[in-house]
Amino acid sequence: MRPLIIAANWKMNTTPADAGELAAIIAARTEEPGVTRVICPPYVCLAAVRDALAGTNVAVGAQNVHHELAGAYTGEISAAALAGLATWVILGHSERRRDAMESDELIGKKLARAISSGLRPILCVGELLAERESGRAVEVVANQLRGALAGKDVEALINGGFVIAYEPVWAIGTGRTASSADAAAMAEAIRSTLAEDLGWGKSAELVPVLYGGSVTSANIGEFLAEHSIDGGLVGGASLKPDEMAGMVARAAITAMARAAAEGKPV
């Protein structure tokens, strides 16, 4: 059974003065069985969030990492620098593809670095609106996967807890979401790209696929009702404790239902 995951991407919000308090409130409001919770604050807030979450089982993630271990890369952060601060990392978010021109090849290098450094990666993929409207969404996402994953060590990725987030770019921060049917179809296309094009075979079934793009407590249920979707990568709504409480509570119901369907404990 794949884990149910709610990952909070705080983007460039919060400061070291307020991030810990917000994280502690969210942790206390989201104590539910069967749901993996991750909070990804800005780099400079990682220590405050880590300290605030000590003693909870909410994980801390970074929003990016450099692919080299050290060197002349002004303004960048290495995996070694994240040791002790974060155990997860978001890679290839569309805002980084857009603003930092991150290519699939570069994202693939970051992925390899994350895995070899013990950081659990969430690889973001997703199409632009024009690409969806011209019927090329699956092709675009498959190309992103091939570009980042070709030649990677599948066993290391699976053992490292590799996660994919399908985030249609046009749904991020817009209040507009993909339909749950389209998101589920994309999750299936993602797993078949892994299984067939990339030769992952049955290992593809082990990879959690999250949906991201204007997820809220009001709409997350539609996505979690789809068996191919294993949670959400949430931006705006993840800064609101009430919203996080609602989303994690809904995910806990799904976790229980899926465990019951497989005759397993949550």
Binding site for ligand PEP (CB under 6 A): 9, 11, 93, 167, 172-173, 212-215, 233-237
**Nearest CB to ligand PEP, comparing residues 198 and 239:** 239
Give the DSSP per-residue string, 243-263: HHHHHHHHHHHHHHHHHHHTT
Q: What does the alpha-carbon distance between residue 3 and residue 211 come to, in Å, rounded to a whole number? A: 14
**Nearest CB to ligand PEP, comparing residues 200 and 223:** 223
Question: Smallest distance from the beta carbon of 46 to ligand PEP, in angstroms?
Answer: 17
Give the residue at shortest CB distance from ligand PEP.
235
Question: Smallest distance from the beta carbon of 83 to ligand PEP, in angstroms?
Answer: 24
Q: What does the alpha-carbon distance between residue 191 and residue 74 come to, in Å, rounded to a whole number? A: 37
Question: Smallest distance from the beta carbon of 41 to ligand PEP, in angstroms?
Answer: 12
Residue of 167, 222, 226, 243 marked active site: 167
Active site residue 93: yes
Active site residue 167: yes
Q: What does the alpha-carbon distance between residue 225 and residue 257 come to, in Å, rounded to a whole number? A: 10
The answer to whether the CB of 92 falls within 8 A of the CB of 163 is no
Task: Find, among 178, 168, 221, 176, the residue nearest to 4 by Cα.
Answer: 221
**Nearest CB to ligand PEP, comparing residues 93 and 113:** 93
Active site (catalytic) residues: 93, 167
